């Protein structure tokens, strides 16, 4: 077997274990609450050792926030892929919607589980704080990308950082409204409404 094949198999195994741990943790946390569930319960449910758990996650907070970890990268990648001539409000709306669509997938089971986890994060101070830490990095990444797209230096021009902050505020607002409505409000409609409010400021302040 080639080194590349071995690497691929090892990576698949890591993803499988990580997914099993994440699934077990999310089910327990959504059912019992964050403060009640222990790492011992998570590993027992997942059928792995405690040592294995800490090979993948530093804490149970990391397990929960991990399910949103790729969303920031998705927003950044989508923004980078948008046509250069698009107004910032349109490009940012598409970028944010990619992340929100991943949360509110069409399959009811996925959407229900995601809704429970979003509610858990937003209602648990420790998890909310971890999400905000992640979003700080997302904001930096979006700021740099907006600077690149618009030919602005984020160190001297306020627009990229302010626009990135507005986009993430939109993301948070839609998640909050979706969670508070128990999933009855359509995230796509909420996203459109949110960016309709932000678009004048985003586009008026853009140099393009």
Q: How far apart are CA 29 and CA 44, in angstroms?
A: 14
- Rounded to a whole number, what is the distance in angstroms from the first to the last CA of the chain? 53
CATH number at residue 177: 1.10.357.10
Please check whether residues 79 and 29 belong to one and the same domain: no
Task: Tell me the CA distances in angstroms from 124 to 9, 26, 35, 121, one per residue in order.
Answer: 36, 14, 9, 5
Name the DSSP class of 186: -
Owning domain of residue 167: 60-204
Please check whether residues 165 and 88 belong to one and the same domain: yes
CATH number at residue 8: 1.10.10.60
Q: Give residue for tokens 């089971």.
A: 109
Q: Which of 27, 57, 87 is the last residue of a domain?
A: 57
Residue 91 has what pLDDT? 96
Please check whether residues 38 and 93 belong to one and the same domain: no
Tell me: the pLDDT tens digits for 156-186? 999 999 999 999 999 999 999 999 998 889 8
The rounded percent of the chain whose pLDDT value lies above 90 is 44
């Amino acid at each position: 077997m080639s080194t590349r094949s071995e690497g691929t198999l090892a990576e698949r195994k890591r993803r499988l274990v990580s997914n099993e741990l994440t699934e077990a943790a999310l089910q327990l946390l959504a059912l019992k609450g964050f403060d009640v569930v222990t790492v011992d319960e998570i590993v027992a449910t997942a059928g792995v050792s405690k040592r294995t758990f800490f090979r993948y996650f530093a804490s149970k907070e990391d397990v929960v926030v991990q399910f949103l970890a790729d969303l920031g990268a998705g927003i950044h990648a989508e923004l980078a892929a948008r046509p250069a001539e698009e107004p910032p409000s349109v490009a940012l709306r598409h970028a944010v919607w990619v992340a929100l669509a991943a949360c509110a997938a069409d399959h009811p089971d996925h959407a229900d589980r995601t809704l429970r986890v979003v509610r858990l994060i937003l209602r648990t101070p420790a998890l909310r704080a971890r999400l905000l830490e992640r979003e700080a990095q997302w904001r930096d990444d979006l700021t740099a990308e907006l600077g690149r797209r618009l030919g602005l230096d984020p160190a001297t021009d306020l627009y990229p950082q302010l626009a990135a902050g507005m986009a993430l505020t939109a993301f948070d607002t839609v998640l909050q409204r979706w969670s508070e409505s128990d999933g009855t409000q359509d995230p796509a409609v909420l996203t459109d409404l949110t960016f309709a409010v932000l678009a004048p400021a985003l586009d008026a302040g853009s140099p393009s």
